[in-house]
Every structure is written in C-alpha cells, then in structure tokens.
C-alpha cells in the first residue's frame, strides 16, 4: 500500500533536487527575475512620470484658468496661433467677470540675453504686477514689478533662479544691467526656484513690465493692437472655478463676435491634470503590460526546463513509484519545485527592480516610486506563474508508468 509523503518531506526533496543542479536552477529563475524586475521598474517609472507631471501642474498656481489663442483644431494642425487675444480682453475679464479675483495678461518672446561677454537664449515674459500672486511665484531677492514700473514702461527685469546662476555665478545680480534686443535692463529681483512645466524651465525666464515689452521688444499687432500670448486668471476659490470658466468663455465669445467655433481656449489646472493623468495612466498600464510579457516568458522558461527535467528524471520517478510513491506525491514535488523557482526568482527580481528604481531617483529628476501593494501583487503573481506553468510538467511526471520508466535501468 502506498504511503503518504508529508509536505515537509516533499519540500526538502524539492530543495535538494534544485540545489543539486545550481546552474540549471539559476538559469531557470533568470526569466522570472528579469520579468519581475521589469514589472517593478516599469511601473515605478510610470508612477514617477505621473507624479512629476502632477507636481509640475501644481506649479501653475491654485484655482487658475488659462486663456490661450487658437482652438483645439489649430493646435492639432500645428498652424501659427492667431493674435486675436488682446490686452483689452484681459481688462474686460477683470472688470466684468464677478467670480474672478485677479487677471495676469502675458506676452512671451524668445530673446538673446547679454551680460558683458556672455550670451544666453531665454524666454522673456512681459507681465503685470498681478502675475506674482496669480501664478504663485515668490521673490528670493529684491522686488517684483510695480504699477509704477508698468505705467512708465521702465526698463527693469526680474530673472529666474537658474539664469541668475548662469549669468552671475556667486555674484549678486541686483542692480546690474543686462541687454535684451539692444535695450539695457536693470535687474531688480531674482525669483525663487519654480521648476519646469511641460518641458519649459521657468527658472531661466526673465520678467519685464508688459508695457515695456510692447513698447521696446515685441511692438503692437497692426490688426489687434496689444496681442497676448495668454491670460492667467485666478478664481476666487475652487468652488467658483467652473463658473468663472463659463463666464470668461461667454464674455470672449461676445467680444470676438463668435457664432460657431471658438478662436480661443479656456483651460483649468483640473483640465490639464485630467489629461495628464489619463496619458500617464495609459503609459503606466502599457509599461506594466510590457513587464508582464517578460514575466510570462519567464514562466514559459520554467515550464520548458521542468519538462526537460521530467525526461531526465524518468528513472527516478519510476523507482519512487515502484517503492510506493503516489501520483499525487510526484505531482506535488514538481509543483513545489516550480513554485520555489518562481517565488525565489520573484523576490530576487523585486530586489533588483527596487534597486533600479532607487538608482533612477538618485540619477534623474524622475520621482520613480512603487507602492507596497504592487510589490506584494507582483511577487504573488510570480508564484502563481510558477504554479500555472508547472502544472503540465508535474502532470506528465505523475502519469509516468513505473514499468516503462524502469526499462532503461
């Protein structure tokens, strides 16, 4: 009568079998190690990209709306934006929309900045005093643009944190003069670090009065007058932002005499965050799927090696059956061997994946991260793959006829 083999004995036999051929066991685990490390790393990178985009969007300012010239079709086709968003539109929004708190019109232009023998390409922004509070910027040293600077079109400039380091190194920039388009501007302030938004480094920008920008840098549009790059609008609070967006849209449609498609777009921070979350979420899912395929390939590798192992251990299986081992004992041993390989490979892959994520965080600006529940799920998935792909070899081993298996002895 066949005697029952305990689970402990099966586990010990499985470990002994695997350690007796360390090279084969290591190579079998390699696919799972790489697959698991890929899943952990790629999901971590995807999560980091999502967090980076969210952090950058938070730099735009709280409860802020952005009015930009051109509609969605204009952006898709990549044609030049119309210049019909004007300073008069910004003034009308400030005076006629009750749900807003402040309005900050802006003109952007790429210019060559000169200081002595140094030259840099930088984005020059013509702004008003309200820009600072609407966009949640802070001054590190000096001061920002005042109403007097604006009304007199004074040649004063505030520079970004990084541009200050590039131009002046450790020296104080306040009071020094830089040249923009053959005009001399006195530096009156340095911005606190703000970071990048959608690939644009705000710490390398220069801010000058809007009136100075129009009079001395960009000039007026012959058809529209003072044409703006966009308008930043701060709503009174988060509850009124949708109402503010609706009111601004209706006002500009009336002012631009629009009957069909808008020639402008009003976007909120929430809109941008929703778009970015959708894109980065899809990216994370795709990266996870790529890693999952690697894990699947690792499972197939375990199945193939275990099938080869069954063929090589035919005599051993036949001998064990001949002395009383049951089909279930053989089945369980091969399943345990597959499970050990997959689980151990999953744990090693997790360690490798976490190490890669930490290396990415240290060497790049991407805040790659992975949640604990995802790690637990991935390791569990590795073990499950070992069981699933170990079933076929285990069944084949269990069904071997001991008489046939012992013929070659």
Residues near 214 by Cβ (< 8 Å), separated by ≥ 6?
A: 107, 126, 220, 226
Mean pLDDT (whole number) for 334-343: 84
Tell me the residue ranges of DSSP E strands in 210-255: 230-235
Copy the structure tokens of residue 79. Answer: 């044609």
Residue reference for tokens 């790489």: 34
pLDDT band at 51 (very low <50, low <70, confident <90, very high): confident
Alpha helices in 169-205 (DSSP H): none
Please give the Cα distance from 13 to 23 (Å, whole number): 18
DSSP string for 305-326: HHHHHHHHTHHHHHHHHHTT--
The better pLDDT of the pair 88, 199 is held by: 88
Please give the Cα distance from 105 to 125 (Å, whole number): 10
Residues near 271 by Cβ (< 8 Å), separated by ≥ 6?
A: none
pLDDT band at 355 (very low <50, low <70, confident <90, very high): very high
% residues pLDDT > 90 (the chain): 23
pLDDT for 406 = 59
Mean pLDDT (whole number) for 155-168: 89
Helices 372-398 and 327-363 meet at what angle, rounded to 10?
150
**Dihedral, 160, 189, 133, 53 alpha carbons, nearest 10:** 10
E strand or H helix at 264: strand 264-268
Residues near 133 by Cβ (< 8 Å), separated by ≥ 6?
A: 102, 234
Please give the Cα distance from 309 to 303 (Å, whole number): 10
Please give the Cα distance from 403 to 84 (Å, whole number): 91
Which of 21-30, 241-250, 268-277 shows the lowest mean pLDDT across its residues?
Answer: 268-277
Does residue 103 carry a pLDDT above 50?
A: yes
Domain boundaries, the chain: 7-55+275-405, 83-262
The better pLDDT of the pair 305, 110 is held by: 110
Mean pLDDT (whole number) for 55-65: 72
Average confidence score pLDDT of the chain = 83
pLDDT band at 10 (very low <50, low <70, confident <90, very high): confident
Which of 47-56, 204-213, 318-327, 338-347 shows the lowest mean pLDDT across its residues?
Answer: 318-327
pLDDT for 1 = 43
pLDDT band at 62 (very low <50, low <70, confident <90, very high): low
Using an 8 Å Cβ cutoff, are 98 and 191 in contact? no
Residues for the chain: how many in total? 409
**Residue range 121-159, pLDDT digits in tens:** 889 999 999 999 888 888 999 999 999 999 999 999 999
> How far apart, in Å, are the Cα atoms of 336 and each of 112, 296, 341, 386?
69, 19, 9, 9
Does residue 403 carry a pLDDT above 70?
A: no
Helix, strand, coil shares, percent, the chain, to 5: 55, 20, 25
Helices 7-20 and 22-58 meet at what angle, rounded to 10?
100
E strand or H helix at 197: strand 196-197
**Residue range 104-115, pLDDT digits in tens:** 999 999 999 888
> How far apart, in Å, are the Cα atoms of 67 and each of 285, 289, 380?
32, 38, 49
């Amino acid at each position: 009568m066949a005697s029952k083999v305990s689970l402990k004995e099966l586990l010990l036999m499985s470990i002994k079998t695997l350690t007796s051929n360390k090279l084969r066991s290591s190579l079998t685990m390699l696919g799972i190690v790489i697959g698991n490390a890929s899943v952990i790393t790629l999901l971590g990178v995807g999560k980091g990209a999502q967090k980076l985009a969210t952090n950058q969007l938070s730099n735009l300012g709280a409860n802020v709306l952005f009015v930009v010239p051109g509609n969605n079709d204009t952006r898709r086709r990549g044609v030049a934006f119309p210049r019909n968003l004007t300073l008069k539109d910004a003034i009308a929004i400030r005076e006629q929309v009750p749900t807003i708190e402040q309005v900050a019109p802006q003109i952007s232009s790429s210019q060559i900045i000169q200081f002595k023998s140094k030259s840099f390409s930088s984005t020059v922004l013509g702004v008003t005093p309200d820009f600072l509070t609407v966009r949640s910027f802070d001054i590190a040293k000096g001061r920002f643009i005042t109403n007097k600077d604006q009304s007199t079109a004074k040649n004063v400039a505030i520079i970004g944190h990084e541009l200050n380091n590039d131009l002046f190194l450790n020296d104080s920039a306040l009071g020094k003069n830089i040249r923009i388009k053959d005009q001399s501007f006195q530096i009156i302030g340095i911005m606190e670090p703000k970071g990048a938004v959608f690939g644009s480094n705000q710490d390398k920008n220069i801010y000058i009065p809007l009136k100075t920008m129009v009079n001395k840098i960009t000039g007026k549009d012959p058809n529209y007058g003072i044409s703006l790059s966009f308008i930043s609008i701060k709503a009174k609070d988060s509850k009124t932002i949708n109402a503010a967006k609706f009111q601004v849209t209706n006002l500009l449609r009336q002012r631009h005499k629009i009957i069909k498609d808008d020639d402008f777009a009003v976007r909120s921070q929430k809109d941008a965050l929703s778009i970015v979350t959708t894109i980065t979420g899809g990216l994370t899912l795709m990266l996870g799927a790529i890693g999952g395929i690697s894990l699947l390939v690792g499972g197939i590798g375990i199945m193939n090696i275990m099938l080869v192992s069954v063929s090589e251990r035919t005599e051993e299986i036949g001998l064990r059956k001949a002395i009383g081992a049951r089909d279930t004992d053989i089945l369980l041993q091969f399943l345990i061997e597959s499970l050990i390989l997959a689980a151990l490979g999953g744990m090693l892959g997790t360690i490798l994946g976490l190490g890669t994520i930490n290396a990415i965080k240290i060497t790049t600006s991407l805040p790659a991260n992975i949640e604990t529940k995802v790690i637990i799920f991935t390791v569990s998935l590795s073990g499950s793959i070992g069981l699933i792909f170990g079933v076929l070899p285990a069944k084949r081993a269990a069904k071997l006829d001991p008489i046939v298996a012992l013929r070659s002895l």
